[in-house]
Amino acid sequence: MSTATVPTVASASTGRSSFSIRPHDPSPNPVCPKCGVKRTIKKGKRRNRMRTLQVYECAECLYRFTAGDAGKNKTYPLKTILEAVSVFNLGHSMTETQQQLRRRFHVDIPERTISSWLAEQKELATYCRLRAAARKLHSPESMLRAVRLEHQQVYQFQVHQGKLELLLGQSHSGDWHAPHPTSRALPR
């Protein structure tokens, strides 16, 4: 009696023999996402929900950041992502958004990346549905009207003119109407 079939299914998926822990990563430290300087130093580790991330500190501006594998949005800090969504939703074009981020964070972010952030934040940043309509009413520069109120404590009062006008003009039906006449009193 010959045994033709031998169960070898398990051995196929256990290719872990080559696994080894290297004492240090030979790849160079990542560039500082804030000021773009290449001189960054390792500064301990931080535990994420998913994994342990290496923390780096910029030798120039002392900005601390983590770098995992260059996967989902881990290349850029959250601050940059939120700024991109905010700037774009103020009514700036994609190119203008890129320019502003370059000026502020000294990074060139591809259009594709910003588009993916916008898509990801769609559920949370629901204003994106009003962006086009509000853009017709105000330029990005005049979208937010800010007034510094010099009370005992200085208070920065801000109103989003696009949202306000769309809200006031909305009362007649579900569709977006021209802004209510009273809101026109606000300077553009």
Interface residue list for Zn ion (CB under 5 A):
32, 34-35, 37, 58, 60-61, 63
Q: Least separation, in Å, of the C-beta of 131 and Zn ion? A: 32
- Cα–Cα distance, 161 to 182 (Å, whole number): 12
Nearer to Zn ion, 34 or 138 (CB): 34
Task: Please answer whether residues 138 and 162 qualify as being in contact, where contact means their C-beta atoms are separated by less than 8 angstroms.
Answer: yes
- Cα–Cα distance, 10 to 3 (Å, whole number): 18
Q: Least separation, in Å, of the C-beta of 117 and Zn ion? A: 22
Number of Cβ atoms within 10 Å of the Cβ of 5 = 6
Nearer to Zn ion, 63 or 127 (CB): 63
Nearer to Zn ion, 31 or 144 (CB): 31
Bridge pairing between strands 154-160 and 144-150 = antiparallel
Q: Least separation, in Å, of the C-beta of 166 and Zn ion? A: 40
- Cα–Cα distance, 108 to 134 (Å, whole number): 27
Chain centroid to Cα 50, Å, comes to 19
Nearer to Zn ion, 33 or 169 (CB): 33
The partner residues of 55 in beta bridges, in order of sequence, read 66
For residue 107, what are the CA distances in angstroms to 36, 49, 98? 7, 27, 9
Q: H or E stretch including 157?
A: strand 154-160
Nearer to Zn ion, 58 or 101 (CB): 58
Q: Least separation, in Å, of the C-beta of 63 and Zn ion? A: 5
Q: Least separation, in Å, of the C-beta of 28 and Zn ion? A: 15
